[in-house]
């Protein structure tokens, strides 16, 4: 999915677990965004950086069997996961790099969508420009991207602060943009697209039931790369990190805040 030299997360079993937990946090937000922008039955949709196919399946439910969804990801393991987890016949997956869409993906689409893709590309405007080139006249381009530098919890705690620090440093060292959501307006303009409409939403909750905890799994999945980069504190234990994070914020009576997710979309002119 990414174009940085190293992806921040594992690409095997724990990555699938992370993406499924992340989906529980973000899917309701993405569903509302897709309703807002007008994803509709019968549309042909391209999903950028499909991961394990969560966004592809959301889109497929909205376009129905008369529509179709193609999910693309540069990681062959992601394609295998997506195919294994997706039963709908009107959804397919293809290995392709989002930086090379114009040469690797054929056809014309009614909508191009993506979630948590642009932080991990070198040139967000170039990706948006290529995505738009695959749209029919009047087509829809819609992405949803985060600001990861926000306050992760309602009450600062030592472990949450420490985890946030090494996680963000890991992303920065790898060349990722943890604030890609905040610059979507500029990225659309730099791509030569009309000014996008924007919306902002975040998951939040307290207690062990909270879906917002799904985001904490992202930091845990980035552990091996952070360790490789020498960013982890002495004696750090990934196996107990999620539990310790939950306990610590519970002791403070606080809540967990998922990343602010910026939705941006444009409808291209007809003709």
Domain ranges of the chain: 13-149+177-204+258-267
- Of 236 and 200, the structure prediction assigns the larger pLDDT to 200
* 250 neighbors 244 (Cβ within 8 angstroms): no
The residues pairing with 263 across neighbouring beta strands, listed in sequence order, are: 144, 199
> Tens digits of per-residue pLDDT, 144-156?
999 999 999 999 9
Are the CB atoms for 139 and 39 separated by under 8 Å?
A: no
Which tops the pLDDT comparison, 249 or 39? 39
pLDDT for 144 equals: 98
> Comparing C-alpha atoms, which of 153, 147, 116, 156 is closest to residue 257?
153
What distance lies between CA 212 and its chain's CA centroid?
15
Spatial distance between the Cα atoms of 88 and 125, rounded to a whole number of angstroms: 32
**Which residues have CB under 8 Å from 80's CB, separation 6+?**
none
DSSP reduced 3-state for 80:
helix
Please write the tens of the pLDDT for every residue from 61-93: 999 999 999 999 999 998 998 999 999 999 999
User: Which CATH number applies to 13-149+177-204+258-267?
Assistant: 3.40.50.150
More confident residue, 130 or 239: 130
Which pLDDT does position 90 carry in this prediction? 96
Distance CA 176, CA 260 (A): 17
Instruction: Return the percent helix, strand and coil in the chain, to nearest 5.
Output: 45, 20, 35
pLDDT of 25: 82
Instruction: Write down the pTM of the prediction.
Output: 0.90
Please compute the mean of the pLDDT values over residues 229-240 and round it to a whole number.
84
| pLDDT attached to residue 92 | 97
- Tell me the pLDDT band of 11, cut-offs 50, 70 and 90: very low
Q: How far apart are CA 72 and CA 97, in angstroms?
A: 7
Instruction: Kindly indicate the confidence band of residue 27, based on its pLDDT and cuts at 50, 70 and 90.
Output: very high
196 vs 118: CA distance, rounded Å: 15
Q: What is the mean pLDDT of residues 168-179?
A: 93
Q: What rounded mean pLDDT belongs to the chain?
A: 89
Mean pLDDT of 13-23: 63
- The phi, psi pair for 68, rounded to 5°, reads -155, 155
Average pLDDT of span 146-167: 93
Q: Which of 163-172, 220-229, 248-257 has the lowest mean pLDDT?
A: 220-229
Structure tokens, 139:
């087509």
* Average pLDDT over every residue of 43-58: 95
Task: Give pLDDT, residue 4.
Answer: 43
**pLDDT: which is higher, 22 or 261:** 261
User: Higher confidence at residue 30 or residue 247?
Assistant: 30
Binned at pLDDT 50, 70 and 90, residue 211 comes out as low
């Amino acid at each position: 999915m990414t174009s940085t030299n190293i992806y921040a997360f594992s690409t095997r079993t724990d990555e699938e677990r992370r993406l499924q937990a992340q989906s529980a946090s973000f899917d309701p937000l993405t569903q509302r965004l897709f309703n807002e922008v007008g994803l509709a039955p019968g549309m042909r949709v391209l999903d950028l950086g499909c991961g394990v196919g969560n966004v592809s399946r959301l889109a497929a439910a909205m376009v129905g069997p008369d529509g179709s969804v193609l999910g693309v990801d540069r990681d062959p393991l992601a394609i295998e996961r997506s195919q294994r987890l997706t039963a709908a016949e009107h959804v397919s997956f293809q290995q392709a790099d989002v930086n090379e869409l114009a040469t690797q993906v054929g056809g014309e689409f009614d909508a191009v969508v993506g979630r948590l893709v642009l932080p991990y590309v070198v040139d967000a405007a170039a990706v948006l420009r290529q995505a738009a080139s695959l749209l029919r006249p009047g087509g829809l381009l819609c992405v949803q991207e985060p600001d990861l530098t926000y306050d992760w919890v309602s009450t600062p705690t030592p472990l949450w602060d420490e985890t946030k620090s090494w996680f963000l440093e890991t992303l920065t060292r790898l060349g990722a943009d943890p604030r890609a959501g905040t610059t979507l307006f500029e990225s659309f303009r730099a791509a030569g697209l009309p000014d996008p409409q924007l919306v902002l939403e975040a998951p939040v909750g307290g207690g062990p039931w909270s879906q917002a905890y799904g985001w904490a799994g992202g930091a845990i999945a980035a552990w091996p790369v952070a360790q490789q980069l020498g960013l982890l504190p002495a004696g750090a234990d990934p196996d107990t990190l999620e539990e310790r994070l939950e306990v610590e914020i519970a002791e403070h009576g606080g809540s967990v805040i998922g990343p602010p997710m910026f939705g941006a979309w444009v409808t291209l002119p007809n003709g």
